[in-house]
Chain A
Amino acid sequence: SAVISQKPSRDICQRGTSLTIQCQVDSQVTMMFWYRQQPGQSLTLIATANQGSEATYESGFVIDKFPISRPNLTFSTLTVSNMSPEDSSIYLCSVEREGGYTFGSGTRLTVV
């Protein structure tokens, strides 16, 4: 299965600041997915990142708040902008592999 390296693994940030999360895959993939897992909740898809085009956002998520870059077929970033405590979550990237999806280990973000 694909190996996904996601960083940082965790961070504590001040409200009003921004954090960029990186996701590196060990092989080329067409689509990369960004999920959020709020405390005690399941994963929620934020957006799908295709290389060479703008990301597609799910309902309730907007580009100004969660800008995404996809400069090549193995890398993507998700930025959480102008953070508030409500943004405290685990953020995961994911790619499709072998009939399912492989997830990065996640970034635990705490906004204080």
Chain B
Amino acid sequence: AQTVTQSQPEMSVQEAETVTLSCTYDTSENNYYLFWYKQPPSRQMILVIRQEAYKQQNATENRFSVNFQKAAKSFSLKISDSQLGDTAMYFCAFMIGTYKYIFGTGTRLKVLA
């Protein structure tokens, strides 16, 4: 079975600090994509960062970076210099085939002033 596990239902971080959200997944596929999505209270799902499984280099996007460990099937998200606007639900997901997503259950992140 293909699964995504986010073991931290809730986390908090002080503004300007760094936080890491964990994600592990299970699949027998070799080619897939990994994503982190952010869902603020507006419920809009916003793509934060994407990683192709065939790439060894970790993806970065401004203050957001990932630690992708393919052998360990781990895909953590690091948020540097946390901002109040980072407060949201974060979903880890992977995609196989052309479109099918498998989502984790999410981590609720709260950035404290």
Contact = CB atoms under 8 A, between A and B. Distances in A.
B99 interface: yes
B105 A41 contact: yes
A61 interface: no
A84 interface: no
Q: How large is the interface on A (under 10, 10 to 19, 20 to 34, 35 or more residues)?
A: 20 to 34
A100 B50 contact: yes
A40 B100 CA distance: 21
Q: How large is the interface on B (under 10, 10 to 19, 20 to 34, 35 or more residues)?
A: 10 to 19
Given A99-B50, A100-B35, A100-B50, A43 B103 contact: yes
Interface stretch (A11-19, A68-76, A101-109): A101-109
A33 B45 CA distance: 13
A105 B47 contact: no
A92 B91 CA distance: 15
Contact of A105 (B44, B99, B100): B44
A105 B44 CA distance: 4
Interface in B50-77: 50
A100 B42 contact: no
B91 A42 contact: yes
Interface string A41-77: 1111100100000000000000000000000000000
A111 interface: no
Interface of A: 31, 33, 40-45, 48, 90, 92, 94, 96, 98-106, 108
28 contacts: A31-B99, A33-B99, A41-B105, A42-B91, A42-B104, A42-B105, A42-B106, A44-B103, A45-B100, A45-B101, A90-B43, A92-B43, A92-B45, A94-B45, A96-B99, A98-B47, A99-B50, A100-B47, A100-B50, A101-B47, A101-B101, A102-B45, A102-B47, A103-B44, A104-B44, A105-B42, A106-B44, A108-B43
